[in-house]
Amino acid sequence: MSNKTPDQVLTRIRLTEKTAFLAEARNVYTFEVPLCATKTDIKKAVEEGFGVRVEKVNTLTRVGQPRRYRQHHGYTQERKRALVKLHADDRISLY
């Protein structure tokens, strides 16, 4: 993933009430990323894409859950999220 652009690493920004509170109170922003993205890839992408300093990156992977529709069995899509903590002086304008 090291040769990817920031747009390819950061799939989208997660905007919910909880993530808006985290952004205002703790300066933590949440992004959806590909499953193969590493913490260093995410850090570089945020720093290059938004021009901010990243202090910490936490990731979490949600495994697909089994689902059934009539006689068809399958799984939901696996997802990976990144929680990025920025330097105290830096902010990302979301609105």
Q: Residue 95: its pLDDT value, please?
A: 66
Q: Residue 4: its pLDDT value, please?
A: 82
Number of structural domains the chain divides into = 1
Evaluate whether residue 51 is within a structural domain.
yes
Evaluate whether residue 95 is within a structural domain.
no
SS3 28: strand
- The tens-digit pLDDT sequence of the chain (95 residues) is 567 888 889 999 999 999 999 999 999 999 999 999 999 999 999 999 999 999 999 999 999 999 999 999 999 999 999 999 999 999 998 76
Report whether 61 contacts 80 (CB < 8 A): yes
Q: Residue 2: its pLDDT value, please?
A: 65
Q: Which residues form the domain of 47?
A: 6-86
Q: Residue 6: its pLDDT value, please?
A: 87
The domain that contains 67 carries what CATH number? 3.30.70.330
